[in-house]
Amino acid sequence: MNYFLSLPRFYKRLIGVLSDALFISVAFVGAFYIRLGDLTLYYNIQYVYLLLLLIISTLLLFVRVGLYRAVLRYLSLHALLTIIFSCIISAGFLIISGYFTHAFVPRTIPIIYVSFLIFLCGGARLLVRVSSTTKQNNRKIRTLIYGAGDAGRQLLYLLRQGSEFHPVAFIDDNKNFHNTVVNGLTVHNKKSLASLITRKRIDKMLLAIPSASRIERKMIIESLVELPIEVLSIPNFKDLLNGSATVDQLHDVPIEDLLGRDPVASKSALLGANINDKVVMVTGAGGSIGSELCRKILLQNPTVLILFELSECSLYQIDKELCGMVISQQLNVEIVPLLGSVQNQHLLERVLKSFKVQTLYHAAAYKHVPLVEYNVVEGIRNNIFGTYYTALACIAAKVESFVLISTDKAVRPTNVMGTTKRMAELSLQSLAAEEHDTRFCMVRFGNVLGSSGSVIPLFKQQIKKGDHVTITHPDMIRYFMTIPEAASLVIQAGSMGKGGDVFVLDMGKPVRIVDLATNLIKLSGLQIKSKQNPLGDIEIKFTGLRPGEKLFEELLIGNNVTPCDHEGIMRANESYLPYAEYKQILKSLDEACTQFDHKSIREILISVPAGFNPTNEIEDLVWKADQ
């Protein structure tokens, strides 16, 4: 079989022609023998002519219908139907040829002949197909498909054409499917999974349930976590329908499925209120949140979208992507990429006035807790003064709306980063109480999945290396939200701002980080290595809390919240400082930063009503080097 499959195409076709000629002869002789009981009629030259005519006409028919162009290892149902149809026509040739050669052909001969020919021609080809497929399947990864619906059947078809996976069975929760056969595979009940995996030697499971809700997928995934197989998923059903993804693009189970939280629905009126037909600017446009904000804003048809970014590389990437979106979706939006720092108030004013910006989203910030602990002065300059200077520039340029992207780490902070973000909120709250034309608001939320430096990509990288996964503390919990959902809610919250509002997003229930890591390891088909299981694959190591890190985060300073026009957004009513008092604090903080006086910096941050309660000593690397 290996030798035959490796032959050049010409020789394969030649073998096919000769084999079919032999099959036609055998079917012809067999039909007469079955009908008449002897072969003495072949001494008559008429039957020899009849056989030759039949071979030539049938082979020409096979050539005409493309039977020799078909690749046997991929023989389809259509090809088998073509063979049957061609054999029936060949039987017609037998009747016609008998008439012209004056040979005696009993009426039952064509029926017996066509049965033999279908069996020989179709069976031989089917045998090659089965042998080839069996050989390929032995090299493939044995796989279960979870979901016997449309997506599951499409996935089955594509996997059978590929060279990596060998599907052996379906699993489905629908009782109507149980013990039925779909496209040649038996559909099993989920209760028999454990024994099925052992019996069928399954290595992977592919989830073909793209239309299920997040909550449903979470329940399914949780039931699979303890099984000794790797679990993969197919793209979202919406992406399959619009053509942006194909069913064979398999990937790890999305982490949002492990959270089991369906995204909050958007309200189109709120999305476009501050954007449609307006000039919009995003600071930190190349970051995780900033870039997603830009994508969402672009779809709301602003007249101009200004990308303000300090990193040249990040600005180039987001500018290229957005310009591609404008062309592909035929949008009438001007993209303006600008390099600059939010600490440069003069530049900000010039930009805002020159382009007549109406709405500004301030996403520029240093957000990594340990890095800001090690670089205190730059963290303060960028997060506190950068926000303050941007706000003053907006007031000078008479920008209509200013929306600050804040964080849950601003609530009762134990680190410098969280304190700088709370100070940024205080600056906008104090400015909002003054007389001017700019409406300030801020949106506070927790961790976003997949952002730069987030824990999930780190876990996946560590699992891929196969050594160990590092977690700071077994009791650490965090709120999580996808980047697109966070960006969408930020835009909607900004349109509801009246002045000095602190909006808090509904983040759902907090998640234990160790549970996320455990599920990721198990869904990769690996086992946790521990004292109880020393032969496991991946060990979870606890490294201890990093400087300034908290075990859990909060979203509210108090309990005084009011509902908004959107069910996924709340308005927090929190105290703030008068602007004159806040300016004096900034002046003292500026002087301390200029002198690199970290003791004074810490005293000022503690004295400010930001709730700063440091859990570690001063960690600034320059200051420690001086010491």
Q: What does the alpha-carbon distance between residue 107 and residue 36 come to, in Å, rounded to a whole number?
A: 12
Please check whether residue 293 is in contact with residue 361, taking contact to mean a CB–CB distance below 8 angstroms.
yes
Q: Active site includes 409?
A: yes
- Using DSSP, state whether 482 is helix, strand or coil: strand
Angle between helices 288-298 and 312-328 (to 10 degrees): 20
- 3-state class percentages of the chain: helix first, strand second, coil last, to nearest 5: 50, 15, 35
The tokens describing 2, both together, are 């290996």
Q: How far apart are CA 8 and CA 5, in angstroms?
A: 8
Residues 420/379, Cβ–Cβ less than 8 Å: yes
Q: Are 79 and 121 in contact (CB under 8 A)?
A: no
Single-letter amino acid code for the residue at 612? F
- Angle at which helix 513-523 crosses helix 455-465, to 10 degrees, equals 40
Residue among 502, 525, 515, 508 nearest 574 (CA):
502
Number of other residues whose CB lies within 10 A of the CB of residue 188: 20
Whole-number Å distance between alpha carbons of 288 and 309: 12
Buried b (16+ CB within 10 A) or exposed e, 147-161: bbbebbbbbbebbbe
Question: What is d(CA 201, CA 143) in angstroms, rounded to the nearest whole number?
Answer: 9
Rounded CA-CA distance 222/224 in Å is 5
Is the backbone of residue 247 left (phi > 0), alpha (psi -120 to 50) or beta? alpha
Cβ atoms of 426 and 578 within 8 Å: the answer is no
* DSSP track, 174-188: -GGGTT-EETTEEEE
C-alpha distance from residue 470 to each of 182, 257, 311 (Å):
43, 22, 30
Q: Which position among 278, 409, 421, 550 bears the catalytic label?
A: 409
Please give the C-alpha separations between residue 446 and each of 394, 478, 483, 530, in angstroms, as whole numbers: 26, 7, 11, 31
Active site members: 409
